[in-house]
Every structure is written in C-alpha cells, then in structure tokens.
C-alpha cells in the first residue's frame, strides 16, 4: 500500500492556469469584460479611440492583478506610496495644544504630599522612563546606588519568602472547604483571595508654578515686518517661529534664544503671505512649558489702505505699548479730478444746457484724521502728500485693541469752462442801396455817369458770437474710513516662584543599573 502525504503547511495558492490562481483568473475575466464593454459601447470618439481606451484599461487591470514589486502585489505598493506621499509627516495641530489645558494647581504647603489611590493588589500602569529623570542635575554616588540595590533586593526576598507560605495556606483552605461541601452535594464558592504584590515605587511630579513667564511689551507693525519686544519674568529658553506663505503654514524663521529674569529681547520678524503668525514657545527652569502666539486680529497685516477721489490714505505704521497706541498715516492727494458740471453751452435766441464731465484743478486740500481705540479718540490735522503721526492713550488691558481711523477732507476746485455761444436773431428787412454807374458813349467817346437806386430785401437770420468765460469755483468734501486691530498684553509682573518643599530626594538611575532594578521588581524596560 502506497502512502502520500499532502503538504498542508505550505502557504501557497494553487496555480490553475499558467501562473495565475483561481481568484486572479476571475479578476482577469472581469477586466476583459469591462475592456470589451468600453471598446464596444463607450460613446467616446471613433473606433480607434475606443480600442485604445479598452487596451489601456485591460493593461492597467492586468498589471494591478498580476504585477508584483519585490514580491509584493502592485496595489499594496501603490497604496504605500500614496500614503507616504499624501499623508501628513509633521505636526499640523493648533498652537493652543502646546499650552496646558487647565490652570496649574497650587503647590503643597504642608509636609504631607498627595498620594495616588492604591489598587487592591492590581499592578500599576508601567511607569514611563521619563519620570525617573532627576530635577536637580546631580549624579548620585556609588554608595547611594549600592544601598538602593540592597534595599530593593531585601524587600524582594521578603516577598519571595511570603509567596510559598501564602500559596500553602491558600491550598489548605481550599482543600478544607471543598471536601465537606462536595460530600453534601453543594458547589463550593471560590475564595475571594488575591495575592499581595510588592508595592510599586511612586513618583510624584513637582506642582506647577503659577504665573506668567513671557510678556509682550511692545508690538510694531509696518508694511513688511514686525518688531516684537519680549520680557521674561523668569529664566527662559525661547524658541521663535515665524509662519507665512500663501497658506500661512510655511516656516519662515526658526531660532532659539535664552532670556534671564527681567531681560528683554527685540525681534524683527518678516511678514509674508496673507495670514502670517508668530509663535514664542518657552520652557523654564521649573520644567513648565508654554507658548505665546500672535496671529489673526492680533497682527494688523496687511496694513489697511483706502482710496478716494481726492486722496489715497494708507496706514504705514501701527505700534502698541502698555499705555499708548502710535501710528502714522500717509496721504497721496490728486492734482486734478473729474467734476460733473451742469453747463450752459448756448444762450440768447436759443438756450441749451447739458451735464458734462470736466477736468477740475485741485487748488488746496485740508482735513482731519480721527483715531479711536475703544472709548478713547483723538483728532489730528492731515498732512497733505506727507505722513501724519498720531498718538492715543489706552488703558493697559490684556486684550486685542480695535483701532478705527476716519479722514474728513475738503478741497477747492477750479473748473475751466469752455466758451459760451451767444445767438442773436435778426428779422427780415428791406434796404435801399444806391450806386453810381459810369458808361462811355461809343459815338462821342464821352463818359457818362448816372446814379442808380434800388431796393435790397434781406431775409431773417441768426448771428452767433463766441464769449469766453472765467473758471468755475467749487468745493468738494470726502470722507474715508478703515478699521484694524492690534494685540495688547497685560502689564509685566515678576514671577516669584516658591522655594523647594521638603521631601525625599530622588536618584537618577540609567543604563544597566536601571535594567537591574527593573528586573528585581519584575518589570520590563522597553
């Protein structure tokens, strides 16, 4: 009797036809049917175009079904490439996620530190390695590490001695309780006894220190850059990032600086794109971190500009400080404008008037600019074809200030007028005219003169006369207004951090020593 063993452990599909499996043959049949449908029924162009479309669809389908790259199916490779090319590879969340989601808790004032609630014998979650980092950068001595190892080893040996005794007592209790109950036909209840695990090492992080760390003391925005003055309330490591570009997500500037308590730094940052933003991320000596962001309504960019018929006005500079808002407005006034005039063109026998557009010369422009920030406002005279500065006092609040500007303009216009046509009607009349007529007698050769009188009839007619006119004097008034906003910050306050509280000194353990301690406790170090 012959025996044949079927190799069921081989992870390979059966080849039905050539090197194609049964699912591949079904997929090829479906691709062929769709390609034939495209060639035969697609309402696109001529037969040659449909044939090319069908062949292309069939080739693409065969490649997706049977094609492989490095032993992997082609669709899986294409999906990985799309995921790599389209998927996000950088943090795209808002800057607000960098700030603490809730206010810090006040520091513990008494000697007792808050402890975590213990579970009933259950294992605590794995402690991240970062919790073992020492807050005071000081390496412990070799003697301290050896004493810690010996203490943990003694505690672990004590627990190991208790385990056999505990399991022996537990087994004896189960045997004594199950025996009598089974003889009576009852089901014994499982004892609710859990083994006692060694206590976990708890690491209490230091409480957060309340108070502001970084203040914006001055913000100045011009047409192409912004100047930011920062002041530190404590020692800080600051990372400055400037974003811009067409979508406001392009990183333009990325640099880091250090500031001591009470020091200032002046940063000139470039403004690009439609929605630039600044981020000042800080980290202090208390292991707290946060960020200050300037964006949107906090940055008056681009600076507003408004155009009228008399003048174009643009805000060229806007500066905020804790007690004042300063700025400058540039005006560009026109030398001539178009003026609509109701003009009389013909007068006298016939009167004609029409509305025409004439070029008027702007002789002088006067006006005032009114600036309002909240409930405060100030009015300054306009400097024609120059820069008009303004200063307004504000209340130092932590908010975004809305700035509104309005200009009231008045100009004297001289409009040159074309000549006036004066028409005069002359009625019909008869005039008697006399002329002396001389002739020569051909017979005698004498000249004979005779006065001839006759009547001339003149019909009626209209006579025209051109009359020059002086220029027309008019006045033109115009109002222009625009709004913007700028960030404001609270007044600077020095950070008075509390001193260190009494407590146990933590020891930094790294490398092989950390692995050995974890092995004694039965933990795994990833």
DSSP notation for 288-351: -EEEEEEEGGGS--SPPEEE-SSEEEEEEEEEE-SSEEEEEEEEEE-SEEEEEEEEEEEEESS-
Q: What is the pLDDT of residue 118?
A: 46
Percent of the chain with pLDDT over 90: 29
Count CA atoms closer than 13 A to 142's CA, side-chain side: 0
The stretch 71-94 carries a mean pLDDT of: 75
The stretch 152-166 carries a mean pLDDT of: 53
CA 73 vs. chain centroid, Å, equals 41
- The residues, ordered by sequence, that sit 6+ positions from 194 with a Cβ below 8 Å of its Cβ are 120, 121
Q: Coil, strand or helix: which one is 76?
A: helix
Residue 372, pLDDT above cutoff 90: yes
Residue 51, pLDDT above cutoff 80: yes
Phi, psi (degrees; rounded to nearest 5) at 138: -145, 120
Reported as type and span, the H/E element at residue 41 is helix 22-41
Strand partners, 275: none
| pTM beyond cutoff 0.75 | no
The stretch 41-69 carries a mean pLDDT of: 86
Strand partners, 347: 422
Rounded distance, CA 306 to CA 96, Å? 34
Rounded distance, CA 279 to CA 241, Å? 5
Q: What is the pLDDT of residue 157?
A: 57
pLDDT-derived band at 97, boundaries 50, 70, 90? low
State how far the alpha carbon of 328 is from the alpha carbons of 324, 386, 395, in Å. Answer: 14, 10, 20
Question: Would you give the DSSP letter of residue 385?
Answer: T
The stretch 94-121 carries a mean pLDDT of: 49
The more confidently predicted of residues 221 and 400 is: 221
Strand partners, 359: 338
The more confidently predicted of residues 487 and 160 is: 487
Q: List pLDDT tens digits, range 201-214.
A: 454 556 778 888 99
The most confident of the ranges 102-116, 274-288, 447-461 is: 274-288
pLDDT-derived band at 516, boundaries 50, 70, 90? confident
Residue 220, pLDDT above cutoff 90: yes
- CA distance from start to end of the chain: 57
Residue 500, pLDDT above cutoff 60: no
Residue 449, pLDDT above cutoff 70: yes
- The residues, ordered by sequence, that sit 6+ positions from 92 with a Cβ below 8 Å of its Cβ are 249
Backbone φ/ψ region at 415: left (φ over 0), alpha (ψ -120 to 50), beta = beta
Percent of the chain with pLDDT over 70: 71
The stretch 350-369 carries a mean pLDDT of: 90
Q: 195-198: which pairs have CB atoms within 8 A and are 24 or more residues apart?
A: 195/121, 195/163, 195/166, 195/167, 196/121, 196/159, 196/162, 196/166, 197/121, 197/122, 197/123, 198/155, 198/156, 198/159, 198/521, 198/522
Residue 191, pLDDT above cutoff 80: no
pLDDT-derived band at 172, boundaries 50, 70, 90? very low
Choose among 73, 77, 63, 76: nearest CA to 13: 73
Q: Token pair for residue 417?
A: 């007028």
Q: What is the pLDDT of residue 5?
A: 59
pLDDT-derived band at 225, boundaries 50, 70, 90? very high
The stretch 306-329 carries a mean pLDDT of: 92
Residue 298, pLDDT above cutoff 50: yes
Phi, psi (degrees; rounded to nearest 5) at 132: -85, 0
Reported as type and span, the H/E element at residue 15 is strand 15-17
Comparing 79-88, 217-226, 259-268, 364-373, the range with the smallest average pLDDT is 79-88
Residue 407, pLDDT above cutoff 80: yes
Residue 413, pLDDT above cutoff 70: yes
Residue 301, pLDDT above cutoff 80: yes
Q: Token pair for residue 40?
A: 């035969």
Q: 361-364: which pairs have CB atoms within 8 A and are 24 or more residues apart?
A: 361/335, 361/336, 361/413, 361/414, 361/415, 361/416, 362/310, 362/333, 362/334, 362/335, 362/336, 362/337, 362/411, 362/412, 362/413, 363/411, 363/412, 363/413, 363/414, 364/411, 364/412
Residue 428, pLDDT above cutoff 70: yes
Residue 275, pLDDT above cutoff 70: yes
The more confidently predicted of residues 260 and 207 is: 260
Q: What is the pLDDT of residue 156?
A: 56
Residue 251, pLDDT above cutoff 80: yes
Q: Are strands 429-440 and 447-458 parallel, antiparallel or unpaired?
A: antiparallel
Residue 166, pLDDT above cutoff 90: no
Rounded distance, CA 288 to CA 397, Å? 25
Q: Token pair for residue 171?
A: 């087994």
Residue 489, pLDDT above cutoff 60: yes
Rounded distance, CA 365 to CA 367, Å? 7
Mean pLDDT of the chain: 77
Q: What is the pLDDT of residue 106?
A: 54
The most confident of the ranges 98-102, 177-181, 187-191, 355-359 is: 355-359
Decide: 230 and 238 in contact? Cβ < 8 Å.
Answer: yes
CA dihedral 141, 147, 148, 154 (to 10 degrees): 170
Q: Coil, strand or helix: which one is 249?
A: coil
Q: Coil, strand or helix: which one is 464?
A: strand
State how far the alpha carbon of 8 is from the alpha carbons of 13, 21, 93, 190, 202, in Å. Answer: 11, 17, 51, 44, 53
The more confidently predicted of residues 96 and 317 is: 317
Choose among 277, 309, 320, 315: nearest CA to 296: 277
Q: Which residues of 475-485 are buried (b: 16+ CB within 10 A; e: fewer)?
A: ebeeebebebb
Q: What is the pLDDT of residue 214?
A: 92
pLDDT-derived band at 286, boundaries 50, 70, 90? confident
Comparing 9-18, 64-73, 500-509, the range with the smallest average pLDDT is 500-509
The most confident of the ranges 89-98, 415-424, 434-443 is: 415-424
Rounded distance, CA 117 to CA 77, Å? 50
């Amino acid at each position: 009797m012959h025996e044949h063993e079927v190799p069921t452990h081989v992870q390979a599909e059966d080849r039905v036809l050539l090197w194609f499996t049964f699912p591949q043959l079904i997929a090829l049949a479906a691709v062929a049917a769709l390609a034939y449908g495209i060639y035969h029924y697609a309402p696109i162009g001529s037969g040659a175009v449909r044939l090319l479309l069908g062949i292309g669809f069939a080739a693409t389908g065969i490649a997706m079904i049977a094609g492989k790259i490095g032993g992997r199916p082609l669709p899986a490779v294409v999906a990985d490439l799309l995921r790599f090319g389209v998927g996000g590879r950088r943090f795209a969340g808002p800057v607000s996620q960098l700030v603490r989601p809730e206010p810090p808790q006040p520091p513990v004032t008494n000697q007792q530190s808050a402890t975590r609630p213990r579970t009933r014998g259950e294992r605590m979650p794995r402690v991240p390695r970062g919790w073992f980092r020492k807050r005071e950068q000081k390496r412990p001595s070799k003697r301290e590490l050896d004493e810690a190892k010996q203490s943990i080893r003694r505690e672990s040996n004590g627990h190991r001695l208790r385990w056999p005794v505990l399991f022996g007592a537990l087994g004896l209790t189960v045997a004594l309780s199950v025996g009598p109950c089974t003889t009576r036909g009852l089901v014994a209840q499982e004892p609710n006894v859990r083994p006692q695990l060694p206590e976990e090492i708890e690491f209490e992080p230091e409480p957060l220190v309340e108070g502001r760390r970084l203040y914006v003391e001055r913000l100045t925005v011009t047409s192409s850059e912004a100047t930011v003055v920062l002041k530190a309330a404590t020692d800080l490591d600051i990372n400055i990032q400037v974003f811009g570009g067409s979508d406001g997500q392009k990183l333009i500037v990325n640099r880091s600086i250090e500031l001591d308590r009470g020091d200032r730094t002046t940063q000139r940052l470039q403004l690009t794109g439609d929605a630039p933003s600044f981020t000042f991320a800080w980290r202090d000596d208390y292991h707290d971190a946060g960020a200050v962001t300037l964006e949107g309504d906090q940055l008056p960019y681009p600076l507003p500009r408004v155009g009228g018929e008399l003048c174009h006005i643009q805000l060229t500079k806007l500066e905020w400080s804790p007690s004042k808002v300063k700025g400058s407005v540039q005006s560009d006034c026109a030398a001539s404008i178009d003026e609509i005039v109701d003009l009389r063109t013909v007068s006298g026998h016939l009167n004609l008037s029409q509305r025409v557009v004439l070029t008027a010369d702007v002789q002088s422009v006067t006006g005032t600019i009114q600036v309002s920030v909240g409930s405060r406002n100030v009015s300054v005279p306009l400097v024609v074809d120059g820069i008009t500065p303004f200063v307004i006092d504000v209340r130092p609040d932590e908010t975004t200030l809305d700035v509104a500007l309005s200009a009231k303009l008045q100009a004297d216009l001289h409009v040159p007028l074309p000549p006036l046509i004066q028409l005069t009607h002359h009625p019909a009349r008869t005039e008697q005219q006399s002329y002396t007529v001389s002739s020569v007698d051909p017979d005698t050769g004498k000249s004979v003169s005779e006065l001839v009188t006759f009547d001339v009839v003149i019909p009626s007619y209209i006579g025209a006369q051109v009359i020059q006119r002086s220029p027309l004097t008019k006045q033109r008034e115009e109002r222009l207004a625009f709004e913007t906003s700028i960030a404001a910050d609270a007044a600077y306050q020095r950070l008075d951090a509390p001193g260190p509280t009494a407590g146990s000194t933590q020891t930094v353990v790294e490398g092989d020593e950390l692995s050995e301690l974890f092995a004694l406790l039965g933990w795994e170090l990833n």
